[in-house]
Structure 1
């Protein structure tokens, strides 16, 4: 029955590539996103055929994929061009922790690895539960501003907000996290963030480095608890802003370590 499964897969974003490698199905991948860094060896082994909002359609077609995985409405135009060219495209739109688990299971099933996928996902879920249990022992939970972009200021997406909650912190903009589009999470004034008085600021910017010293130097931010106490951190976007395995493992562990160290000082 193996011949009924997709044999030539193009992954337009990083999380499906990482997941197929974890499932030991990387031989099926014929093209990846240029932003892929997990696993590192994928960059040497696979042709890079897309950015996030753009793709080399001609190059993808020459690879003769029988399946293309994409993510979100932001890749709708790429998907449309490939569909019109006769390619099978599956675009996922996961925004929450539960939706990430669901999509990863679906991908595992599509490549005939439902059982192995379920075992790995169960282990990830158990680790999240263990982190939540440790965080439940906090005497105080830090208030956290997670910045996904700096100019303009943009608060973070739903799965990151949920992972912060699991890790023991409270998102200061939980209502913005429910907005799936980045433009709807823009905070018009830095003063709004200052007034929220976050205990911790975490930045994760796609495509450029987050610089804590620049945050600390923002006008009017000197009395923000996070700035006053030196609690400004970066988590690499590849570890937290991809709605896949990285966020559920490395990303949440980094959040929990930051929150645990804060709680040890302030709890």
Structure 2
């Protein structure tokens, strides 16, 4: 017959095992209830993923650039026809042109689809169909300044398990931005007045845009005082008499040369018309600082500098 001490020991062991089982169950439930990969999107929806997404669809080029810069490019399985950077993206299947191919996306069974607030009005039906298929859709906010872009990097980093990489990218970009401002303040004696032409019909960039923030950061003056992307008249540009004209569409210099009324604008008289890659000055992605550098070197060519030599290693 077992002694009392032995009986107590057996019951104690059984009780501990029961507690351990309950603890494991509680831990499992806690994990299920609190996914590790969480972010709230532009619509206010909270996206919660239980695991790192292995298959991601990106529905705007800036999101694609962020994914690649954070080191999850190999997980991108679908992009748009406008995606052109980095070079590897050319090998990724296209799931959207002027319209989103919802059937193709659903057939891919992605773990995450990254949409964009700027496309909501055009793609609402497509976004709704993707959600109805129980595919996580995160609508990225339409960032129009550096801080908002940094928030996007953080959100995408959180959703893809690349939070630390996002933090490092943001820190590096902020350091480079600080250096470029300091460099510009030191080298620029007289601020140049700049007209930035987005299209031949004289759409431009005003306040609350990346372009305006970049011009301010590099000690240049945007002749546009309105907010957003207004359309100007020839008379407005002529009256403002810009020292430099920056364009972001092909063959703009030839287009401007046809405007006889512009011949006395300082920028035209002095042949100060420059084309800049639109993808680095308007996409809210990791190359914004490169866009700022490109604008500085175009507007102040005698004070050229290369940021990559002074700061910022963006590699991980």
Q: State the TM-score, normalized to the length of structure 2.
A: 0.74
Report the CA distance between 1:224 and its aligned residue. 0.6
8 Å CA contact retained: 2:100, 2:126? no
Query: Structure 1 residues 19 and 164 mapped into 2: Cα distance closer, same or farther (>3 Å)?
Result: same
Q: How many residues of Structure 1 are paired with residues of Structure 2 in the alignment?
A: 250
What is the match of residue 215 of structure 1?
256
What is the match of residue 254 of structure 1?
294
Distance 1:100 1:17 in 2: 14
What is the match of residue 38 of structure 1?
85
Query: Structure 1 residues 144 and 13 mapped into 2: Cα distance closer, same or farther (>3 Å)?
Result: same
8 Å CA contact retained: 2:154, 2:167? yes
Distance 2:203 2:93 in 1: 32
Gaps (5+ residues) in structure 2?
A: 1-35, 38-49, 305-316
Give the structure with higher Rg (CA). Answer: 2
Distance 2:260 2:104 in 1: 47
Report the CA distance between 1:216 and its aligned residue. 2.6
1:116 aligns with 2:165: yes
8 Å CA contact retained: 1:79, 1:89? no
The DSSP-based 3-state class of the residue aligned with 1:141 is coil
1:153 aligns with 2:202: yes
1:50 aligns with 2:96: yes
Report the CA distance between 1:263 and its aligned residue. 6.7
Distance 1:148 1:25 in 2: 32
Distance 1:36 1:219 in 2: 37
Distance 1:259 1:77 in 2: 36
Pick aligned residue for 1:14 from 61, 65, 73: 61
Query: Structure 1 residues 50 and 97 mapped into 2: Cα distance closer, same or farther (>3 Å)?
Result: same
Report the CA distance between 1:71 and its aligned residue. 2.1
1:240 aligns with 2:281: yes
Pick aligned residue for 1:166 from 217, 222, 231: 217
Distance 2:93 2:112 in 1: 15
Query: Structure 1 residues 263 and 191 mapped into 2: Cα distance closer, same or farther (>3 Å)?
Result: farther
What's the CA shift string for 1:155-175, capped at 9, x where partnerless? 126111101111221111132
What's the CA shift string for 1:32-74, capped at 9, x where partnerless? 1111111012112x111113x5222222221112221122333
What is the match of residue 88 of structure 1?
136
Distance 1:231 1:192 in 2: 18
Query: Structure 1 residues 210 and 79 mapped into 2: Cα distance closer, same or farther (>3 Å)?
Result: farther
Query: Structure 1 residues 82 and 240 mapped into 2: Cα distance closer, same or farther (>3 Å)?
Result: same
Gaps (5+ residues) in structure 1?
A: none
8 Å CA contact retained: 1:70, 1:79? no
| RMSD of Structure 2 on Structure 1 (CA) | 2.0
Query: Structure 1 residues 199 and 262 mapped into 2: Cα distance closer, same or farther (>3 Å)?
Result: farther
Structure number with greater CO (CA < 8 Å, separation at least 6) is: 1
What's the CA shift string for 1:129-157, capped at 9, x where partnerless? 1111111121111111111111x210126
1:69 aligns with 2:114: yes
Distance 2:254 2:303 in 1: 22
Q: State the TM-score, normalized to the length of structure 1.
A: 0.87
What is the match of residue 198 of structure 1?
242
Pick aligned residue for 1:24 from 58, 63, 71: 71
Report the CA distance between 1:97 and its aligned residue. 1.7
Q: Which moved more, 1:10-19 or 1:63-72?
A: 63-72
